[in-house]
Amino acid sequence: MNKKQVIRKLEEIAIYMEIKGENPFKISAYRKAAAALENDARAMDEMEDLTKIKGIGKGTAEVISEFLVTGDSVVLQALQQEIPATLMSLLKIPGLGGKKIAKLYDELGIESIADLKVACEAQEVQKLAGFGAKTEEKLLSGIAQLELRAERHAIWEIEPIVKKINEWLSTSEDVQQYAVAGSYRRVNETSKDVDFIVATSAPQALKERLLATLDIHEVVAAGDTKVSVVLTDNYMPVDFRFVALQEYATALHHFTGSKEHNVRMRQIAKARGEKISEYGVELVDGTMKTFTSEAAFFHHFDLPNIPPALRVGHEEFERTNFEQLIQHKHIVSDLHMHTTWSDGANSIAQMGDALQQRGYTHAVITDHSQFLRVANGLTPERLDEQRMEIEKYNQAQQNFRLFAGTEMDILPDGTLDFSDDVLQRLDFVIASIHSSFNQSQQEIMARLHNALSNPYVHMIAHPTGRIIEKREGYQVDMPQLVAWAKEYGKILELNANPYRLDLCEAHLRLAMEADVPVAINTDAHAIEQLDYMPLGVQYAQKAWVKTDLVVNTWTREQFETFINRQK
């Protein structure tokens, strides 16, 4: 059994215990042990004494060893004997937790969602103590929703919804400050729901307007400070929290941190005799201290201003090199984008102006190459014409320069779409795979090696070709790719498009360990998409990407030195 499987088994034990109604602290001990394994970078066979790891004690260490040796455990077997496995699926129904499920099982013999549906329809459930007619109704609607709604939503699905709600809040009366929080703010690849924190002096009025204006499929809860709805749009669950202006910073922190991050913060506070809640910090003398910013809140606990993406309850409290961390303000260029010359929506001049508005000093136009006919890829002749247009644009600019580049296909047989003679006329060459995703790892790696070993290629774009929650991407041996990038002095891309985020976090960590430079690029096909840059930067922070290894923080002179090496 490998580490991932052991972690899943520990979590399974926790779920069974939840239904059994075990001591909640015992249940969380199993969850903590699973989390401790997950947060430890070592492989299972590299760990000697498991009890040395914080969160794993004598009991859980024994269970883990059992899983490793026999593939099973006495504890889990006993639970499985006692509790039907089908009960686990009931946890997916909103409003049902371990205790209620146990009651349904003990008193009505309900073992599955189908059983529950029948019992609700026969109005048997409302007869149980602690249940009522309303609960029954909610359970039935919950079962119906289950079939419609995805459990987790991909970041690219949430991004446009956040944008829309942000726009609504920005023009709304009674709104003093607002921000999206939750796992979306931490740049998780998927989220269960979307959280918004709103500072307002008129929560009641705002709540009514919100319920009346937004396109709502279902109101889940609507209290004085919290409104929970499911939008018609993709059946997206969205929570709004209303707080007073002085509570805004602590509320935003509270609803941004992962559960584990918040637990750690509260433990830190508790050790000082203080208490953290979403409304502020209760000091030793009982007074409530509030903050004007999250930075001030962290400073109160002698902590740096931990970026949202890093608030996961682990490394952010152990590492100290925050000053090396990539930040959006360091970005001065974008090295991958498309124009109307291939499949983009805007002209070279429009892109150039938009880039300058975003404060950049330089950028590269990288339209597709001839192989990609569907994207109107450029022939060598059109590439020369395009270069002239770019030059013309540059002549009219003062402190900004566009470079002429290409996003060139690596063809299925491994050859490159342009000859060296064409490539050497370009400032910057990206090589990418857009075809024959199903090839063996050996074939894919041979294609990538051809590109990396070409002296005129500077960067590999979206190195795995994945689409989050939709497509795995092609078979890349990432340690090998990183080693080649190092050997040939090439850049690997972090594509900031929310569909891609490729390199992913684990791959970015490999690149950092090997000191391989990374470029965070938007791959924009339209002006608005240039705004994916902050998302890419925040995602990079999850992997502790260092500023000096991010190519688009380099000055134009540094960048020119790099691209001219081969000439």
Partner DNA sequence: GCCGTTTTCGGCCCGACTGTTTTCAGTCG
Sites of contact with DNA (CB under 7 A):
23, 25-26, 28-30, 32-33, 51, 53-61, 91, 93-101, 126, 129-136, 138, 182, 192-193, 195, 221-226, 239, 255, 259, 262-263, 266-267, 270-271, 275-279
Fill in the amino acid letter for 13: I
Nearer to DNA, 95 or 359 (CB): 95
Task: Report d(CA 408, CA 148) in Å as an integer.
Answer: 41
Task: Report d(CA 174, CA 243) in Å as an integer.
Answer: 12
Minimum CB–partner distance for residue 432 and DNA (Å) = 38
Answer for the pair 82, 20: CB distance below 8 angstroms, yes or no. yes
Runs of H (alpha helix) within 331-440: 348-357, 380-395, 420-423
Minimum CB–partner distance for residue 367 and DNA (Å) = 43
Nearer to DNA, 224 or 318 (CB): 224
Nearer to DNA, 62 or 531 (CB): 62
Nearer to DNA, 284 or 374 (CB): 284
Minimum CB–partner distance for residue 168 and DNA (Å) = 20
Minimum CB–partner distance for residue 555 and DNA (Å) = 42
Cα-Cα-Cα-Cα dihedral of 393, 396, 401, 402, to 10°? 0
Nearer to DNA, 24 or 479 (CB): 24
Nearer to DNA, 279 or 301 (CB): 279
Nearer to DNA, 37 or 530 (CB): 37
Nearer to DNA, 262 or 342 (CB): 262
Minimum CB–partner distance for residue 83 and DNA (Å) = 15
Task: Report d(CA 337, CA 402) in Å as an integer.
Answer: 11
Nearer to DNA, 161 or 408 (CB): 161
Sheet-wide strand order for 288-289: 275-277, 280-282, 288-289
Minimum CB–partner distance for residue 109 and DNA (Å) = 17
DSSP string, 469-520: TTB------HHHHHHHHHHHT-EEEEE--TTT-BS-HHHHHHHHHTT--EEE
Answer for the pair 2, 37: CB distance below 8 angstroms, yes or no. no
Angle of helix 441-452 relative to helix 478-488, nearest 10 degrees? 10
Nearer to DNA, 134 or 567 (CB): 134
Minimum CB–partner distance for residue 141 and DNA (Å) = 10
Minimum CB–partner distance for residue 433 and DNA (Å) = 38
- Cis-peptide, bond into residue 140, ω within 30° of zero: no
Answer for the pair 295, 307: CB distance below 8 angstroms, yes or no. no
Nearer to DNA, 228 or 552 (CB): 228
Minimum CB–partner distance for residue 498 and DNA (Å) = 21
Minimum CB–partner distance for residue 406 and DNA (Å) = 45
Minimum CB–partner distance for residue 161 and DNA (Å) = 17
Is the CA virtual torsion 137, 139, 141, 143 positive or negative?
negative
Task: Report d(CA 82, CA 94) in Å as an integer.
Answer: 24
DSSP 284: T
Minimum CB–partner distance for residue 106 and DNA (Å) = 12
Task: Report d(CA 439, CA 199) in Å as an integer.
Answer: 52
Task: Report d(CA 186, CA 189) in Å as an integer.
Answer: 9
Task: Report d(CA 371, CA 417) in Å as an integer.
Answer: 6
Sheet-wide strand order for 401-409: 333-334, 362-368, 401-409, 428-432, 459-460, 491-495, 518-521
Nearer to DNA, 261 or 434 (CB): 261
Answer for the pair 243, 199: CB distance below 8 angstroms, yes or no. yes
